[in-house]
Each structure stands twice: as structure tokens, then as C-alpha cells.
Structure 1
Amino acid sequence: MTPLINLAAGQRSQEVTELAARIGWVVGLLLFIALLYWLMREGWKWRGLLQSDLPEPHAAPDALSEAKLSMTGRYHGSTTAGQWLDRIVAHGLGTRSRAELTLTDEGLAVVRPGARDFFVPADALRGARLDKGIAGKVLTEGGLLVITWQHGEKLIDSGFRSDRSAEHPAWVEALNHLNTTTEGAR
């Protein structure tokens, strides 16, 4: 039995890597991650600069008529209409947030706690549909309410998801009906 004891006593674990080399790799990795974060942030700022020709979104009027519909949920961002990956970041339109939507005869009021609110006049609304995705957010089919509106010379799609997704079809119907009634007035 002594040969087995000697054999077990002779095995040793691998020497631990030098501490300085390990610290160097960790610091290098952290610097690489910081560089990637900085590049993403610069890209976001550059996109905002390229979209600076987009006018400032409208502010909600002081007095709005009675709400036709209202909902709470999430605002997932805005894109160029028909191009679901071309995110618009100018004037805070790319910032995700909670949202309260209110549809009135004057238009659509979007109140976003922690982000810039905006208002879409009724004559700028172009329609609504149910979709499955917008830049940075993909859901099940019909899980996203996408509202198309005219802002300056640009058509914009804005994506919302209600806390109660069963509300989405009523919003699509109301916005499309409002669009057809305001088309005659244009």
C-alpha cells in the first residue's frame, strides 16, 4: 500500500498564473468594453446629428377635448415609416419609456415620464396597424401598436405596447377612422 500513498503524494496541482498577468488581462478587457460602450454612444449621437433636420415635435395644447381613447404602456421608439430598423433618435424620439397615450379630436398626446412628451396633431396622423417589431423590440405577431404620422417632410412609425394588449385593435380602428375623417379636411 505504500506505493499508492507515494503516488498520491507526488501529484501536485498546476501552479497558479501570475497575479500581474491576470490583472493585466482583466484591465485590458475592461478597457475594451469601455471602448465599445463609448463607440455605441458616439454612434447614437452621430445618428441624432444626422437627423437634426427633423423639426422639434409638437407640444400638447393646453386645452384638449374629451379623450376618445387612452392607454398606458410602453413607448418603444420611432423609425422612418416602412423601415422598421431605421431608428429616429433626434429630439428624444429614440428613448424608450413608459407612456400614456390620449387620443382626442385634436390629435394624439404622448406623455412619457422621464422622457420628452410629444403631440401628433390629428391632420398629421396617417394610420395605425398591429405589427411584430420596431427597431430594438420584437414581439409576437400583432403585439405592437404602430402609429404612422407625418412630421415635417418625414413619415414616422412610432411603436407602442399597451399594458393590456387587447386594447390594440380599438386603437387601430379609432386612428384609421380619424385618419379617413381628417383626409377629407386636408
Structure 2
Amino acid sequence: MPVAVGIWVVIGLVLLTVVFVGLKRLTTRTAQTVPAPPAVPEGDLGEVLAGPVTAVYVSSTLAGDWLARVGAHRLGFRSNATVTVHRTGVLVSRQGAPDLFLAASALEAVSLAPGMAGKYVGKDGLVVLTWTVPAAGDAPATRLDTGLRTQQTADRATLLNAVRELLPAADGAPNDDSKEPQQ
């Protein structure tokens, strides 16, 4: 019996090592291509359009590729969050990770999706914000999709509509690529 326990302990340690090495490689690989997001601006962020909304920050991925998780700058790891939409942008206050501020000028689209790297909930359960991280150093500006799973279903529509107000409309076209939220 003690030999079997020892074998399982070794297997567990090997699996943990593989996971940590994989996460380290993900972080290193994406740090070279994705610049650090700008810091949350100091002071007043302007009029609150919606929130605070309790949500789960699912992850950020390269825009258009829901499996290309960004590990750099702690953008690819799930955490509990509070989301507030201000006139100047979207503040995602994450527990255990740096807060994230998506400036209104950086936002490109808002949509609903069934899932992305780190969470699949089906039936358009995630609010996905498409935005651009500005270039910094050698890293070029990079488009990202950030997924948020609201705790309350009704908050999904509230968040979606508030972010829509921040998006620029071009030539009378809709200012996002989202589906209509279901109440």
C-alpha cells in the first residue's frame, strides 16, 4: 500500500510541474507580443453608466481567437471582479490581480459569446469586450477580447447596453457586433 501512495504522489507532482511550466511558457510567449495594459487613471473616472456589476473575469484572448489566451500581465487568469462602466471607460476591479481599465477610446466592440479560454457556459453567457492595448516599447498595439461572466443574468444586458454607449458609431451603422441580450 505505501508504494502505491508514493507512486500517486510522484504522478501528482509531475502533473503539477507540467502545469506550472506550461503557465510560465504562456506568460513568457505572450509578454513579447502583448504590451502591458495602461494603469487605471487616478482621480474621477466620470459619470457612472452602469455598475458596479459582480462578475467573473474569465480571461483575455487575442481578438477573434477565443482559445489564444494571453498569460502576460495576468490577463489570462480567472478572478472574481466588479465591473463599473464610466463615461471614460470600463473599470474591471479584479480580486487577486491588478485592476484593468479599458478606456472608451480603446473599446471597439461588445458582444455575447458562449465561451472563451477558461470558461464555456453556452448560450451567450459571456459579455466579451473587444479593445486595443496601446503599443509600448517593442510590443505593437494588440487587439484583445476580454470575457466577463455576470453573476446575475439581468446584469448582462445592463453591462452590454452601457458599453454600447461608449462605442463610436460609424456612418449610422450599429456601434457593436453583439446580439440582442435576452432578459
Task: Give the TM-score of the pair, scaled to structure 2.
Answer: 0.82
Deviations 1:31-53 (A, max 9, x none): 01111111111110111001112
* Structure 2 CA distance for aligned equivalents of residues 46 and 157 of structure 1: 21
CA distance in 1, matches of 2:29, 2:113: 27
The normalised TM-score by structure 1 is: 0.81
1:37 aligned to 2:37?
Answer: no
CA distance in 2, matches of 1:166, 1:83: 27
Measured at CA, do residues 170 and 182 of structure 1 come closer, stay the same or move farther in structure 2, by a change above 3 Å?
A: farther
RMSD of aligned alpha carbons: 1.7
CA shift digits 1:2-58 (9 cap, x unpaired): xxxxxxxxxxxxxxxxxxxx3222212210111111111111011100111222222
Counterpart CA distance in 2 for 1:182 and 1:40 is 44
What is the distance in 2 between the residues matched to 1:167 and 1:110? 14
Question: For 1:1-186, what aligned pairs fall within 5 Å after superposition?
Answer: 22-53=1-32, 54-62=34-42, 63-70=44-51, 71-152=53-134, 153-181=141-169
Separation in structure 2 between the aligned mates of residue 179 and residue 81 of structure 1, nearest angstrom: 17
* Higher RCO, 1 vs 2 (CA within 8 Å, ≥6 residues apart): 2
In the TM superposition, what is the alpha-carbon distance from 1:158 to its structure 2 partner? 0.8
Are the counterparts in 2 of residues 123 and 182 from structure 1 also a CA contact under 8 Å?
Answer: no
**Unaligned stretches of 5+ residues in structure 1:** 1-21
1:158-177 superposed Cα distances (whole Å, 9 cap, x missing partner): 11111212121232233233
- Counterpart-to-counterpart distance in 2, 1:58 and 1:124: 11
Count of residues in correspondence between the two structures: 162
Question: Which segments of structure 1 move beyond 4 Å, counting only runs of 4 or more?
Answer: none
Larger radius of gyration: 1
The answer to whether the 8 Å contact 2:78/2:118 transfers is no
What's the offset of the Cα at 1:131? 0.9
More helix by share: 1
| Letter paired with 1:76 | V
